[in-house]
Amino acid sequence: MKEHTPYLVQRIETRQTVRDDDVGVDRHFRFDYMGSAEFEFGALPKALKAIRATKLMNEPKRIKHPDGHIVWYVGPKELFETAKKLFFSQLKDRYEPRLKESTYISEVFGTDKLTIARVKKGIERSWKPNTIGWWDIMSTYAFFCKKDDAKKWLDCVLKKR
């Protein structure tokens, strides 16, 4: 599998209530509105089809930043390092590679400059994204804040719509 540079990373949120009428990812997950046409017009179903055609690792694999922040990777073993680099760069507010839309990874983990400055001043966070995971829709991997969500994603992507 050739090297991949992430560009279209979809933010994933959890549904407040399970949609019993649906199967697969739509049953448990919802996708944040990204505000760019590249994420629309069938991009997500096409990306889901690509994931289903890929040999994925059987279990979520932990990605741990030296600062202790953890996400759980779901995808082929060949793209693990790509996902790790993306997580590390977005966590530290460096934003390399440059993505089409923000991941809010640093905001989710509280490592963005604004949150750090507010904490130092004793100001409570006024906003935190509902994002629980990230899906590189130009590739075949995703990663999640919690292992349970990563397992649920793996189970869901293996089911047909």
For the ranges 10-19, 28-37, 51-60, 115-124, the maximum mean pLDDT occurs at 51-60
Looking at residue 37, what is its pLDDT? 65
Residue 100 phi, psi (nearest 5): -65, -45
On the question of pLDDT at 69 being above 80, the answer is yes
Highest mean predicted confidence (pLDDT) among 38-52, 78-92, 110-124: 78-92
Per-residue model confidence (pLDDT) at position 18:
77
Task: Give 29's contacts (C-beta < 8 A, 6+ positions apart).
Answer: 12, 13, 14, 15, 133, 152, 153, 156
pLDDT at 124 exceeding the cut of 80: no
Q: How confident is the model at residue 74 (pLDDT cuts 50, 70, 90)?
A: very high
User: Quick one: pLDDT band at residue 32, thresholds 50, 70, 90?
Assistant: confident
How confident is the model at residue 157, as a pLDDT?
Answer: 86
pTM, 2 dp: 0.87
**Averaged over 20-30, what is the pLDDT?**
79
Angstrom distances, CA of residue 72 to CA of 10, 20, 80: 16, 26, 10
Average pLDDT over residues 9-32: 82
